[in-house]
Amino acid sequence: MTRPARTRAATVVAAVLAATLMLTGCVSQFLPTQPNATSTPTGEEVAAEIEPFYSQVLTWRACEGEFQCATAEAPLDWNDPQRDSIDLALIRSSADGTAMGSLLINPGGPGGSGYDFVRDSLDYAVSDRLQGSYDTVGFDPRGVNRSSAVSCYDDPSELDGFLFDIAENPVGTPEYIGELEQSSAAFGQACLEHTGDLLGFVDTVSAAKDLDMLRAILGDEKLNYLGYSYGTLLGATYADLFPDKTGKLVLDGAIDPSTSDFDVTATQAQGFESALRAYLEDCVGTTDCPFRGSVDQAALQVKAVLDSLAGSPLRATDGRQLGSSNMFTAIILPLYSVDNWPYLSELFASVMSGDADYAFLLADSYYSRDEDGTYADNSTEAFIAINCLDYAVTSTTETLEAEAAELARLAPVFGPSMSYGGTACASWPFESTRERVAIAAEGSAPIVVIGTTNDPATPYVWAENLAGQLENGLLVTYEGEGHTAYNKSNDCINDAVDDFFISDTPPADQTVC
């Protein structure tokens, strides 16, 4: 059934939209194919039970045209390393010149594929300067895509049903909440049946321990890391666990590690509503804008569209029904980047004329669903599985109504679409494993935290919070729109990041670009 929207904070979502709809993609640099090579692990002293993992040698092979690929092995359970092992997929773009080391990239999610991000969007991920100075390494975290992965269904139509089917009962009724709980419990059991024990070990703390292992086997004494969106939580968690191994860490589009599940939803609802108003301010008064009047009046028209779809869904040519939740997903995808705002106008115009197909094109891009009904990756399953381990369930059936009222108050347009998801992980097969507390990473090297003032997915307040929590956090602010700022905003941001990585020159705290 259609899920209450919980937005994934993923830079890769915007990249997918650009590649899918603009048909331009990102042109990666063409490097000569490198011969097979092996890594030289650091040889550092670690506990005997994990030494075989830290001392393994990667064999790089030519792949994907101009890249090299390798597979690393990690313990399933870092607390019991001999229990079983999992695979981690890596892809590398070698530095143009002499490499200063490896730069590991995480695009967000959780559930985003670093492998695909580097392969498909290298120039979007990092600047030419960094490509010239570092071996850029994308990796799929545990549970994701080409690594040992979460899987929940054999038949993609079953995932279609979970994501897109319309609930039988009115939103907010006890019967509706019962549908949600039953659907979530069935999904969790399906994931357990298809994934097995791995499902209980895809948490961010385990992924951060993998990250330290990857650092060592790549031969880097310190970790150099660029994390976007959810990747900032992974990076901050790493710094907390291994402060003495932090090299240069940049966390762009920050998540506040101390926020509760409901606080995340409430803050994101306001963030996307603020981004919607920015789009409407740019739209109203132009000839191709589907809205008329003031920004406030246009926002009410957007709400009217969502309310209408809640009562009378539109049927697409493939038979799926477009309700308010799927329409919300279609709306937020272009809100990740100001460059994609024109797609919003096309979206609203098509739906207001009774056509649901364009909305499903956007929603499908968000979920990595291909035109033939298959899914390009497991990002949706991994997103849910990782979050259910990282966030303790704080909502109850009794609190959902009050939370829905609060969301509607904070974000009148989008709040209702993001309500009633609070118990989605209540019946997950495994208990949450991460305590939601502030991260200080005492003793770390300087860590650069980038926040965009009107970022819809990771609102600016989270960057302020994370930079303030980190003992050595440095806040860099981009005054503008969109999700994340590095390599997609201005030279001030780009130079701050590149100079940090290349010249070891940290930007001043509270830098504003």
pTM > 0.75: yes or no: yes
The pLDDT, as a whole number, for residue 435 is 87
pLDDT of residue 405: 96
pLDDT for the residue numbered 36: 58
Residue 363: Cβ-neighbour burial (10 angstroms; 0-12, 13-18, 19+): buried
CA 251 – CA 447 distance, rounded (Å): 8
For 352-411, the DSSP string reads: HTT--HHHHHHHHHHTTB-TTS-BSS-HHHHHHHHHHHHS-----TTTHHHHHHHHHHH-
- Choose between 28 and 254: higher pLDDT: 254
Give the tens place of pLDDT for each residue, 432-461. 999 899 999 999 999 999 999 999 999 999
pLDDT on residue 423: 86
pLDDT tens, position by position, 238-253: 999 999 999 999 999 9
CA dist 135 and 140 (Å) reads: 16
Q: What are the DSSP calls for 474-512, one per residue? A: EEEEEEEESS--TTTS-HHHHHHHHHHHHH--PPPTTEE
- Catalytic residue numbers? 229, 455, 483
Q: In this predicted model, what pLDDT tens digit does every residue of 354-413 receive, in sequence order?
A: 999 999 999 999 999 999 999 999 999 999 999 999 999 889 989 999 999 999 999 999
Cβ partners under 8 Å of residue 81, min gap 6: 49, 50, 53, 75
Peptide bond into 110 cis (omega under 30): yes
Q: Do residues 261 and 403 lie in contact, with contact meaning Cβ atoms separated by under 8 Å?
A: no
Element (H, E) at 186: helix 174-195
pLDDT tens digits, 281-339: 999 999 999 999 999 999 999 999 999 999 999 999 999 999 999 999 999 999 999 99
Evaluated on CA atoms 176, 178, 181, 183, the torsion sign reads: negative
Rounded-to-integer distance, Cα 274 and Cα 245, Å: 38
What distance in Å separates the CA atoms of residue 108 and residue 16, rounded to the nearest whole number?
13
**Mind listing the pLDDT tens digit for each residue in 463-508?**
999 999 999 999 999 999 999 999 999 999 999 999 999 999 999 9
pLDDT score for 3: 52
Contact 272, 481 (CB under 8 A): no
Q: Is the dihedral of CA 261, 264, 267, 273 positive or negative?
A: negative
**CA distance to 87, 220, 254, per residue, from 500 (Å):** 32, 17, 18
Average per-residue pLDDT for the chain: 93
Assigned token pair, 91: 């892809």
Dump pLDDT digits (tens) for 5-41. Answer: 555 554 444 444 443 333 222 222 333 334 458 999 9
- pLDDT tens digits, residue range 78-117? 999 999 999 999 999 999 888 999 999 999 999 999 999 9
| Distance of alpha carbon 401 from alpha carbon 171, whole angstroms | 10
| pLDDT value, residue 236 | 98
